[in-house]
Structures are given as C-alpha cells and as structure tokens.
Amino acid sequence: MNKKIIYFDMDGVLVDLAQKINAFPPAVVEQFNALDMVEQLPAIFLDPDPIAGAVDAFNKFCESDKYDCYILSTAPWDAPWVWTQKREWVEKYLGPNAYKRLILSHNKNLCKGDYLIDDRTKNGAGEFEGELIQFGTEEFPGWDSVLNYLKP
C-alpha cells in the first residue's frame, strides 16, 4: 500500500510551548515577542509538556499502515541550543516511532508530502504542496478532530 506522507509541526501541535511561555512575566514575554525571539526565552524548550493527546495521536499515525510520519519543525537560527533541545524532546516523548524522523527547516514548503499538521503558515507551511491541516483552528481545535479527519 502506498503510504501518505504526513508531517507534524512541534510548537503548538505536539509541544505545549504556551504553557512554558505563560510561566514568564508578561513584560519579559512582550520584549522577546517584539523581537520575534519568543523561542529564545531562557530554557523555553527545556522539557515542555506535550499538547493533550499529541503523543497518543502521533503513535497511532505511526503504527497505522496508511501513513509515513515525520516531524517538521523550525528552530531559531540564533539559538542553536534549541535545535538540540528539540531533538531531545522528540526522543523523550515520541521515542522509537520518531527515530531519525525529525526535520528542522525554515522552508517547510520544500518537503514533499501529503499532509502537514501545523498551527501557523510561517516558514513555508502556507506554501506546502500537500494539504495544510491548521491545528488550533475551529475545524481542527485538537487531536480528536485530526484523528477523525485522517483516520489512521
């Protein structure tokens, strides 16, 4: 069977970064946000929790014979430690199903595939060749709705 390629974004899709961000004083967050540097808040990517249902959903997709799964995320260029932390997060929470399946890119549109689950259209997500499933919207507010739609 020809498997469909599906990409999973990290922040706001698999990873609950908002929870970590909200732990900082609002004035600090505002400052980092203004510079588009919110991912560079100190230790922001040090072991954030997964989004509710994300790990179960990811495993379901990986174990289905319909889908070939990859993680497609962007890490800040000026914060190279976040690249490592993302790699560590993937191993800790997604385990063997994610082995050598992490892609970090600022040009998500260059990845070939059928579906991209992403909460934003930034870094090429909006120009992805397949179908963008925009996570956190009215249509796809959470993992149940994505599972319902793609039926792994």
- Return residues touching Mg ion (CB under 5 A): 9, 11-12, 119
Identified catalytic residue from 11, 36, 49, 144: 11
CB of 11 to Mg ion, least distance (A): 4
Shorter beta-carbon distance to Mg ion: residue 54 or 150: 54
User: Residue 63 or residue 109: which is nearer to Mg ion going by CB?
Assistant: 109
Judged by CB, which is closer to Mg ion: 60, or 74? 74
Q: How wide is the angle at C-alpha 12 spanned by C-alphas 111 and 28, nearest 5°?
A: 120
For residue 111, what is the DSSP state?
S
Q: Which two tokens stand for residue 50?
A: 């997964």
Q: How far apart, in whole angstroms, are the C-alpha atoms of residue 121 and residue 135?
A: 11
Q: How far is the CB of 45 from Mg ion (least distance, A)?
A: 12
Residue 78 annotated as catalytic: no
Rounded-to-10 torsion of CA 63, 152, 108, 2: 80
DSSP 8-state secondary structure symbol assigned to residue 67: E
DSSP H helical ranges for the chain:
17-21, 26-34, 54-63, 80-94, 143-150
Q: How far is the CB of 13 from Mg ion (least distance, A)?
A: 6
* Three-state secondary structure call for residue 40: helix
9 has catalytic annotation: yes
Shortest reach from residue 74's CB to Mg ion, in Å: 8
Q: CB-wise, 9 or 39, nearer to Mg ion? A: 9
Q: Quote the DSSP letter at residue 78.
A: T
Enzyme catalytic residues: 9, 11
